[in-house]
A and B are shown apart, each in its own frame.
Chain A
Amino acid sequence: MLSSTHASGATVAPRKTLGFYLASGWLGLMLLIALFGDSLPLPDHKEYFFDEAGAGLFSGKHILGTDIDGIDILSAIVHGTRMSILIAFVCVTVGMLIGGALGIVAAYWRGWVDSVITMYFNVTLSIPNLILTFAMVAVLSSPTATNPEGRMPRVLVIIIALTFALIPILGRLARSSALSWTGREFVQVAESIGMKRRNIMWSHITPNVVPSMMSVGFLAAGVVIVVEGGLAILGVGTDPGESWGSLLSKNRPQIVDYPQAVVWPVVAIALTVMSLNFFGDYFRKRIDNRESRI
């Protein structure tokens, strides 16, 4: 029975379920909103509609209602999308480049290079990532005599800290993925014909590691959005109202009287992270299928 499913040459791509379409639809929507959200015909996210403060669902032009200051919740979320997506995108891209390079070098070079890089990963991973980023943000943004606001823009500090926390996570995965390729025949052939190790890494190992890195990238983007939200709740996020997390932290004290201002940003975060995880999972299955056919 088992062999028959194998012989029928199970499709390379796993079945596209309803969830797949929902997840890709949501992510596509978020991407569009991040790019063009500001030109949507919504009330201004900075305008205080004092007369309509605390309005509920579908009250007039405020589709999701307003918060305690009378700020339109939907347009605030739409505005926050850009920052949340930007932070996730930059952190994951830079993290993948640095972490991926370190992981591949460690896997292919082995020896002391591998020991040093792996030790660096383990040391960084031994500090919970939220605390690590929190500590980095606190230290990096500490005020100086000349600039009481801190040395760098908050967003940059957050991006640096989150990337730093991502590098070991992504790097360790790149290393283990690269390890499964370094012993393959085509690498041995390349070595035996005297190809330079640098070129082997670049043209034989990296292309094979990239797909699995991509699938992890989606999961990592989810982690970034979550940790950014966490940082905001702890009071070291982006400026109030600039990202989903900071919307949460701004409106959290009013959860009793104006729950809508907390619930909708939570829904946006949860749906996005869920879609990212779903997507990452889908790609991982796809890669597993592909490799099991080799």
Chain B
Amino acid sequence: MSGGTTSSRATTAQRLRKAKNIALIVFKAVLVLFLATFGVTLLVRLLPGDPAITLLPYGTPEQHESLRQTLGLNDNVFVYYFKWLGNFLQGDFGYFYSANTSEGAQISTLIGNVLPRSMLIMVYTMIFSLLVSIPIAVAMAYKADGRFDRITSNVMFAISSIPNFAIALILMYLFAVQFEIFPAVGYTPMADSFSEHLKSVALPVFSLSAGLIATQTRLLRTDMIATLKEDFVTMASSKGLTDRYILWRHAFRPSSLTLMTSAALNMGSLIGGAVIIESIFALDGFGLLLTTSLNSRQYLGIQSLVALVTVFYVLFNAIVDTFYAVVDPRVRSHRGAA
């Protein structure tokens, strides 16, 4: 066989395999979403107790019957689930029911109100944690096992062990109560005042970032140390390039892959994972909406909101997986190491 034909044939085969891999990732993601949402439906539907009575504890039997009809509780689980799924896919997330209003608030409107600020906090947290962890990790890897590295490693280990609500409460006590630098609770929209806005999100962002900084520093440090042992780094330093230049231009970029993966995966879990922080700082975000809907037993609300959180999480996972399927196969094994 001549070299040219084999290589072109190999590329076609490779391309096919790539496409197959991506199709598999998408299929798995859809399957997980389907099963997860169905699981939530089962949880809500199959457990004893009547949601209609929970929603209207003092209602008459006729009112209960009509509520059951509107909620679709008289259908069997499968019919109910697919009706819900159809609505969900069309962006109709159902209603919040209350004893006082006949109509109830539309869940998609409520989500529309809170999602922007939750997303904003998510993005701030990611930017802040990367801005802090990257320089620290690079400095640690530069003099690995040196004094700075050892002390910082221990501090990071300690930080990663402290639950984020504990960090939130301590920060709140220090910066809001003792020194009164930041407001203790509440959220100021960007449109009102940008500096106040930043102040109002500072403590939540710090609390959410602490754990992320610890993880990300550890990941980047490990990868940087591995990269700094590579031949091309030795080559670069023998050419007389400065350490700073080598660290940032030669070593950082190839080392940042695991870090970016972890960041992307964390983005996916931040949207629902910020529940406690949002509740502590009274941010009125997505997490708080979820909490209220659970506390007031809004079964339709629970279903749609949990589904949304899951969609975010699975989506970011699938993006990362696709990314790894597309890039160079040598890189792919990195994910396993992370």
Binding site for B on A (CB under 8 A): 19, 119, 122-124, 126-128, 130-131, 134-136, 138-140, 142-145, 151, 222, 225-226, 229-230, 233-236, 248, 252, 255-256, 259, 262-263, 266, 269-270, 273-274, 276-278, 281
Contact = CB atoms under 8 A, between A and B. Distances in A.
B177 interface: yes
Contacts of A256: 177, 184
22 contacts: A122-B32, A127-B309, A128-B309, A131-B272, A131-B306, A134-B275, A135-B43, A136-B43, A138-B294, A139-B44, A139-B302, A222-B161, A229-B163, A230-B276, A235-B291, A252-B280, A255-B172, A255-B184, A256-B184, A263-B173, A274-B161, A278-B157
A230 B302 CA distance: 18
Interface string B301-334: 0100010011001100100000000000000000
Contacts of B177: 255-256, 259
A138 B49 contact: no
A122 B310 CA distance: 11
A140 B47 CA distance: 8
* Secondary structure type dominating chain A contacts: helix
Contact of A151 (B48, B166, B290, B317): B48
B35 interface: yes
Given A140-B47, A234-B275, A229 B165 contact: yes
Interface string B31-66: 111011001100110011100011000000000000
A279 B284 CA distance: 37
A266 B169 contact: yes
A78 B213 CA distance: 32
Contacts of A222: 161
B279 interface: yes
Contacts of A278: 157, 161
Interface residues of B, number: 49
Interface of B: 28, 31-33, 35-36, 39-40, 43-44, 47-49, 53-54, 154, 157-158, 160-163, 165-166, 169-170, 172-173, 177, 184, 269, 272-273, 275-276, 279-280, 290-291, 294-295, 297, 302, 306, 309-310, 313-314, 317
Pick the most buried of A131, A140, A259, A266: most chain B CB atoms within 10 A of its CB: A131
Nearest to A144: B49
B294 A230 contact: no
A130 B274 CA distance: 10
Contacts of B161: 222, 270, 273-274, 276-278
A135 B307 CA distance: 12
Contacts of B28: 122
CB-based closest 5 A-B pairs: A274-B161, A226-B163, A138-B294, A128-B272, A277-B161
Contact of B276 (A122, A233, A274): A233
Contacts of A255: 169, 172-173, 177, 184
